[in-house]
Structure 1
Amino acid sequence: MRILHTSDWHLGRRLCGQERTDEFRQFLDWLTDTLICERADALVVAGDIFDSYTPPLWAQSLYYRFLTGLSRTPCRSAVLVAGNHDSAALLDSPRELLDRLDVHVVGAPAADPGAELFELPDAQGKTGALCCAVPFLRSRDLCGALVGEDADAIARAELDGFAKHYAAVCALAETRRARRNIPIVALGHCFAAGGTMSADDGVRDLAVGSLGAVPPSVFPENVDYLALGHLHAPQICGGLESRRYSGAPLCMGFGEAGQKKQICVVDFDGRAASVRAIDVPVWQEIRRLKGSFEEIAAALSELERSGRSVWVEADCSDEGAQGLNDRVRELSGGAVKILRVRVAGAGPEDAFSGAGDLNEDWSPREVFDLYLREHQIEGEEAASLTGAYLEALDAVRAEATR
């Protein structure tokens, strides 16, 4: 049994206002070709399929084009779950139609564990694996509304709800396994303790309500491969090769410039999983240039001579001289575009110098954090306001998906 694991596509995402339609199309075409070349039996996608609750029509078109094209590959089934960026209602709405294509999508968590459990057929059409398809679990999914409880009590209740949800689905999978030597694959979209990330890597809102990092021990031991999403750098979880983040297939922020992107190929010998990574090609190079104005100018000249299409963030160490931002931007031309300029001594908000950057690239949480900084709100007051804001934001999002 061979399964391909990917996550965090973020279809529809821009980078400093730049459309990335061609990159996403090329990735999905490459993924289709890889399913054919690897003769994969199944595909699992661990959340954040789209970048927002209301993805543009072109992003939805690419999504459905890819899913309908799976019938032309050896892949016999696909399982996709919602991430924190996804609208559960949007993903669930065509569920019955996609089920007929052996494409199983779980947007909202279900009270019935059986609604999150799927059999994945092997090349002979027999059950080759069982898949526990757990989507992103929000605070209201884990413990409902806890009135009057402190943050620690709420976090404990959320962790308990998280553990119980996985325990119920995986226990049902164990019953279905019925002593057969077939693996159980579980999906998850969360922040597992020990996971690594970098500044400006495109990951937003790590926490699940009051619940921060989830200890790896919370996942049931009968899971033979844990396919995780949410963190954008490929990495193992809890020191186990069979518990992994595949990472995002494209660089989602300048903090990931130069990072190798991957998908995971999982081969099972009975229940034993062996994992290898396949590097995802780079269709649009992004670079972060650091140094003085003269050093950045020299690096940009070299990039121009290469003739490559490069999107650049310029991190200038010269103190914020008058007009330095504009001087750096004037250095780019042709295939090289400077999308963002950071100037030493400027505030973090000044790094977003494009007219549309604040609205297009910042999450609601990032905008709120900027508000707190501008008004010098810190400590317990900032924590209290942030908690109230996230609760209100979650309620608005929940209403929007009904």
Structure 2
Amino acid sequence: MRIIHTSDWHLGQNFYGKSRAQEHRLFMQWLLEQIQLNDVDALIIAGDIFDTGTPPSYARSLYNQFIVDIQTTGCKLIVLGGNHDSVATLGESKQLLECLNATVIPGALDDASEHIVLVQDKQQNPCAIVCALPYLRPRDLVLSQSGESSSDKQRKLGNEIASLYQQCFSEAQRINKQQPQPLPIIATGHLTTVGASTSESVRDIYIGSLDAFNATLFPDADYIALGHIHRPQKIAKTEHIRYSGSPIPLSFDELSGEKSVFLAEFNQASLAEVKAIEVPRFQAMASLKGSLADIEQALAEFECKPSDAESMTPPKTTWLSIEVAQQDFLSDLQTRIADITEPLAVEVLQLKRARSQRQQQIEQLDNETLSELSVDDVFERRLAQEDFSEPEQQARLSRVKSQFKQVVAQVEDRSSNLDTDISKVSKLGLAEDKA
């Protein structure tokens, strides 16, 4: 019996103004090929199928088309809701998708037994039992009481989550005893566990209630498929408790490691092997850090844009994040980077100064007097303390600079008129003295 464990697709993500639709479409095609190639019995998506609770129509279309396409494989599909998903959005088609061999559990259900899924193979024989638990919202499990401390709330929520896991596991064991032969029991979850390594795109989901769930509180399932953390990893030095990670990089700091799905194979009721299948990179992305000279040298490795008369298959555009660590103050950093990258098959989605550099600039300002700086110098150095790397922030920066120029022009005009008036008064005073 084989399953593929994946999570955190985040369909509909808007990435610095860019759509990920093509990447997701290619990933889904690749995943269907892997299901066929490895004769997979069940696919588990452990939460965050969508990036927001109100996904765009094209994201819903991708989701629906995948459910249609997976029918040709005979593979069971189990979709769990995540903290980014709307319970209502996922739940609206739940009954319909049951007819397509897909089980959707958008949120916590009233009875623990409703979270149990008996998986059948292509010959309609039971092959696994899944304790299908989605993201568990605190309000679904506990009620706050007057006078409770933060630690009390965390302890109570942790205990309730552990209790629900145990109830589901006990029900799975009961069903297992009724089978002709023992089946593997698989549990799922969408939460943060102690010791998990996160990335920039992961948002905390238990702020003010539960920081992280202790992995020792999971039941003794044969495999635990987790979602929410975007880096693939084992938990508590175990083989059977894993985060699959997201299939595509959802932030630039996720480029350092491979993206994968996990193929778990079971020998009767025992976990035999877990294999990471690397997901191809469908969109070229890179993160460059260093001085301006280092950045320029690194950019020299990228291909140039072809002219109209050149190849009909131009190189793919690479999305870039550039972080400049420069000792000297660079008021024209945006222009310099634009000039360097203009002939290249790249697109700069994120441009920022290193934090240490911004701090040095602040300290440098503290040691300078206004008499050493012009009005423009003070304004540019104040702007240097802000991050205008996002596209909408760039538009705001342009407006701020335009408004600043207008204010300076008005002040200078008033100052010039004042100087003229003072000169007239001074001349009139001299004339009166002579008279």
Question: 8 Å contact 1:189–1:230 — kept in the other structure?
Answer: yes
Cα 1:130–1:149 shift into 2, 3 Å: same
Cα 1:358–1:158 shift into 2, 3 Å: farther
Aligned to 2:119, what secondary structure does the other structure show? strand
State the partner residue of 1:12.
Answer: 12
The CA distance in 1 between the partners of 2:9 and 2:209, in whole Å, is 26
State the partner residue of 2:278.
Answer: 279
Question: Does residue 356 of structure 1 match 2:357?
Answer: no
State the partner residue of 1:211.
Answer: 210
Name structure 1 gaps, 5 residues minimum.
360-402
Highest RCO, 1 vs 2 (Cα 8 Å, sep ≥ 6): 1
Question: Does residue 167 of structure 1 match 2:166?
Answer: yes
The CA distance in 2 between the partners of 1:181 and 1:357, in whole Å, is 58
State the partner residue of 2:259.
Answer: 261
State the partner residue of 2:41.
Answer: 41
TM-fit CA distance, 1:206: 4.4
- Per-residue CA deviations over 1:254-290 (Å, capped at 9, x if unaligned) read 1012420000111100121111010000011211101
Question: 8 Å contact 2:17–2:391 — kept in the other structure?
Answer: no
TM-fit CA distance, 1:354: 2.9
Question: 8 Å contact 2:7–2:245 — kept in the other structure?
Answer: yes
Q: What percent identity do the matched residue pairs reach?
A: 35
Cα 1:186–1:358 shift into 2, 3 Å: farther
Q: 1:342 is matched by which residue type in structure 2?
A: K
Question: 8 Å contact 1:46–1:188 — kept in the other structure?
Answer: yes
My pick for the range that moved more, 247-256 or 346-355, is: 346-355
In the TM superposition, 1:292-311 aligns within 5 A as: 292-305=291-304, 307-311=315-319
State the partner residue of 2:28.
Answer: 28
Cα 1:255–1:153 shift into 2, 3 Å: same
- Per-residue CA deviations over 1:345-386 (Å, capped at 9, x if unaligned) read 338984442333699xxxxxxxxxxxxxxxxxxxxxxxxxxx
Cα 1:32–1:335 shift into 2, 3 Å: same
Question: Does residue 194 of structure 1 match 2:207?
Answer: no
Aligned to 1:158, what secondary structure does the other structure show? helix
The CA distance in 1 between the partners of 2:261 and 2:191, in whole Å, is 18
Q: Give the TM-score normalised by structure 2.
A: 0.78
- Per-residue CA deviations over 1:10-33 (Å, capped at 9, x if unaligned) read 111122111111111111111111
The CA distance in 1 between the partners of 2:184 and 2:111, in whole Å, is 21
The CA distance in 2 between the partners of 1:323 and 1:112, in whole Å, is 61
Instruction: Find 2:227's aligned residue among 219, 226, 229.
Output: 229
State the partner residue of 1:314.
Answer: 322
State the partner residue of 1:131.
Answer: 130
Q: 2:392 is matched by which residue type in structure 1?
A: G
State the partner residue of 1:398.
Answer: none
The CA distance in 2 between the partners of 1:173 and 1:218, in whole Å, is 17
State the partner residue of 2:341.
Answer: 332
Question: Does residue 71 of structure 1 match 2:107?
Answer: no
Q: 2:246 is matched by which residue type in structure 1?
A: A
State the partner residue of 1:373.
Answer: none
The CA distance in 2 between the partners of 1:208 and 1:45, in whole Å, is 24
Cα 1:123–1:115 shift into 2, 3 Å: same
Question: Does residue 346 of structure 1 match 2:358?
Answer: yes
In the TM superposition, 1:234-245 aligns within 5 A as: 234-245=232-243
Aligned to 1:315, what secondary structure does the other structure show? strand
The CA distance in 1 between the partners of 2:82 and 2:102, in whole Å, is 17
- Per-residue CA deviations over 1:136-159 (Å, capped at 9, x if unaligned) read 011112212333311011111111
Question: 8 Å contact 2:193–2:215 — kept in the other structure?
Answer: yes
TM-fit CA distance, 1:327: 1.7
The CA distance in 1 between the partners of 2:31 and 2:107, in whole Å, is 26
State the partner residue of 1:378.
Answer: none
Cα 1:357–1:60 shift into 2, 3 Å: farther
Question: Does residue 146 of structure 1 match 2:142?
Answer: no
Name structure 2 gaps, 5 residues minimum.
306-314, 360-383, 396-435
Aligned to 1:63, what secondary structure does the other structure show? helix
Aligned to 2:246, what secondary structure does the other structure show? coil
Aligned to 2:27, what secondary structure does the other structure show? helix
State the partner residue of 2:364.
Answer: none
Q: 1:329 is matched by which residue type in structure 2?
A: A
Aligned to 1:232, what secondary structure does the other structure show? coil
The CA distance in 1 between the partners of 2:38 and 2:393, in whole Å, is 39
Aligned to 1:281, what secondary structure does the other structure show? coil
Structure possessing the higher radius of gyration over alpha carbons: 2
The CA distance in 2 between the partners of 1:244 and 1:151, in whole Å, is 28
Question: 8 Å contact 2:3–2:40 — kept in the other structure?
Answer: yes
State the partner residue of 1:364.
Answer: none
The CA distance in 1 between the partners of 2:391 and 2:74, in whole Å, is 46
Cα 1:338–1:115 shift into 2, 3 Å: same
The CA distance in 2 between the partners of 1:123 and 1:237, in whole Å, is 31
TM-fit CA distance, 1:331: 2.2
Aligned to 1:165, what secondary structure does the other structure show? helix
**Paired residues, number:** 355
Aligned to 1:255, what secondary structure does the other structure show? helix
Cα 1:136–1:209 shift into 2, 3 Å: farther
Question: 8 Å contact 1:8–1:248 — kept in the other structure?
Answer: yes
The CA distance in 2 between the partners of 1:16 and 1:358, in whole Å, is 12
Question: 8 Å contact 2:91–2:106 — kept in the other structure?
Answer: yes
State the partner residue of 2:219.
Answer: 220
RMSD over aligned CA atoms reads 2.0
